[in-house]
Amino acid sequence: MSKLAIYGGKPAVPAGAVKPWPLIEKTDEDMVLAALRSNHHFFGPECMALQEEFAAWNGNKYCITTNSGTAALHMSLVGCGVGAGDHVLVSAYSWSASATCILHHCAIPVFVDIDFDTVNMDVNKIEAAITPRTKAIIAVHLHGLALDMEKLMAVARKHKLMVVEDACQSPGALFKNRKVGTFGDCAAFSMAHNKTLCSGEGGFFVTNDPQKHEKAKQLWSFGETKAPGEKRDYHAHMIGWMYRNNDILAAFGRSQLKKLDYHLKVQKENALNFHEQIKHLASKGIILPFEPAGYNHTWYEYVVRLDMDKTGWKGDPGVFRDAVNKALMKEGMRTAIWQRMILPEMTVFRNKNAYGLGVPWSVDNAGEGVEYIPEQYSNAIRHSRTHIGINMPLRAPNGPETIKLLAEAYCKVLGNLDQIDPEKINKMDI
């Protein structure tokens, strides 16, 4: 073994070897400049075209482009009629917005533990979490892997629950040859800076239901019944937000959407190549991700977990994991610890006081019986303390040569965990 870079050895990945994301080409520049030089710097023809093109690409009847995936999630709940005091089921492990969007409309999140193998919601635990107030389920498709929508939709229809798909990380992911965002009542996608479809910021609300589309559109534009471009009387009919996209970002999004299928292809090829080169680490205490039969994983993020029983480390798993991640970063890797805590651990939920006076939990005693006890979500806790992820380095224009360097760095560190000294490494400023 060559000396780990964290201890003064030569990094496995030279500076500049990994090309940045997103890949910017002349087509992007031309479309953005054309939008910049137009008279539409707000919601205009570029936004309208982007909506139509994304709806066609994903297979939805209606699409509204938003300023974020978070906005699209909020709009989805409103489209589904979720309101004050309603309960909404959501995964215990996800980005905070998967659950704070529920609070945005004065409803109450009820968490469900994850399936450790897939990191998605454990669909076998959904029914036990349903309460008399449950109105909807947010189905998060995490890291590019679809949730088992067949089982989830069966439970939802049995109990007459609305389904919102959080597909912010997973455009193009398939479950039984069907794209995510086409199973539920509404769905949300993101175009944030780190997403596979990237325009810096932005997102999409999609649905096949005209009534849900109209409800969501009101929230999207100040509570008005008319959208920008239509004849407006500026009358607010409900509480509304300003969730609109703008034409400059939409032009960037349109250009990137034209290349999305290619980017997804490269992302998957690189991830599988990387996987092939590090798969032997499974015998050394590394839990590797996988693609279940009947799914198409887009590999938005490639996530490994440390099997603490095999590492020999007896202390806090997070302490050891952080040291391993620092060692990888020192090798020139762009790894990340995406969420260090599960959602039920976060103060916004534990305090049960999002808006003051205990709202929304105090609304009509809607919070009665809802408790946020982290220990009840053991799989989510285990994952959050042991995972390390990599995403943007696996994307175009990076190819086999870069992937080989990344794999060498992983093997160098993860194949020699006995060299990791958490007490020493975690004191270093990396």
Q: Which of 153-162, 233-242, 328-337 has the lowest mean pLDDT?
A: 233-242
pTM of the model: 0.97
- What values do phi and psi take at 304, rounded to 5? -110, 155
| Buried/exposed code over 324-344 (b: 16+ C-beta within 10 A; e: otherwise) | bbbbbbbbbbbbbbbbeebbb
User: In this predicted structure, what is the pLDDT of residue 393?
Assistant: 97
| pLDDT confidence band for 428 (50 / 70 / 90) | very high
In contact, 171 and 197? CB cutoff 8 Å: yes
Q: What is the pLDDT of residues 18-51, one digit of tens each?
A: 999 999 999 999 999 999 999 889 999 999 999 9
Backbone dihedral region for residue 138 (phi beyond 0: left; psi -120 to 50: alpha; all else: beta) = beta
pLDDT in tens, 179-203: 999 999 999 999 999 999 999 999 9
Mean pLDDT of the chain: 96
Could you tell me the pLDDT band of residue 250, with boundaries at 50, 70 and 90?
A: very high
Pairing of strands 87-91, 108-112: parallel
For CATH 3.40.640.10, the residue range(s) in the chain are: 26-258
Q: What's the pLDDT band for 176 if we cut at 50, 70, 90?
A: very high
The whole-number pLDDT of residue 408 equals 97
pLDDT at position 17 = 97
Q: Environment class of residue 61 by beta-carbon count within 10 Å: exposed (0-12), middle (13-18) or buried (19+)?
A: exposed
Residue 193 confidence (pLDDT)? 95
User: Domain 26-258 is of which CATH architecture?
Assistant: 3-Layer(aba) Sandwich (3.40)
pLDDT of residue 227: 75
Confidence of residue 138 (pLDDT cuts 50, 70, 90): very high
pLDDT value, residue 1: 59
pLDDT band at 146 (very low <50, low <70, confident <90, very high): very high
Residue range(s) in the chain whose domain bears CATH number 3.90.1150.10: 260-339+381-425
Distance, in Å, from the CA atom of 238 to the CA atom of 135, rounded to the nearest integer, reads 20
pLDDT at 220: 95
* Token pair recorded at residue 426: 């975690």
* Confidence band, pLDDT 50/70/90 cuts, at residue 234: confident
**Span 132-154, mean pLDDT?**
98
Residues near 379 by beta carbon (within 8 Å), at least 6 away in sequence: 113, 114, 115, 116, 122
What local confidence, expressed as pLDDT, does residue 423 receive? 95
CATH number, span 260-339+381-425: 3.90.1150.10
Angle between helices 400-414 and 260-278 (to 10 degrees): 40
Q: What is the pLDDT of residue 106?
A: 97
CA distance 304 to 298: 16
- Asked whether the predicted pLDDT for residue 66 surpasses 70, the reply is yes
Is the pLDDT at 306 greater than 90? The verdict is: yes
Q: Is the pLDDT of residue 228 over 80?
A: no
Summarize pLDDT for 70-87 with one digit per residue, the tens: 999 999 999 999 999 999
pLDDT for the residue 277:
98
pLDDT of residue 226: 78
The share of the chain scoring above pLDDT 70, in percent, equals 100
What is d(CA 327, CA 430) in angstroms, rounded to the nearest whole number? 9
Q: What's the gap between Cα 137 and its chain centre?
A: 16
Residue 68 in this model has a pLDDT that exceeds 80: yes
Residue 188 near residue 205, CB atoms below 8 Å: yes
Please tell me the total number of residues recorded for the chain in this structure: 430
Residue 351: band (very low, low, confident or very high) from pLDDT cuts 50, 70, 90: very high
Tokens linked to 135: 């109105």
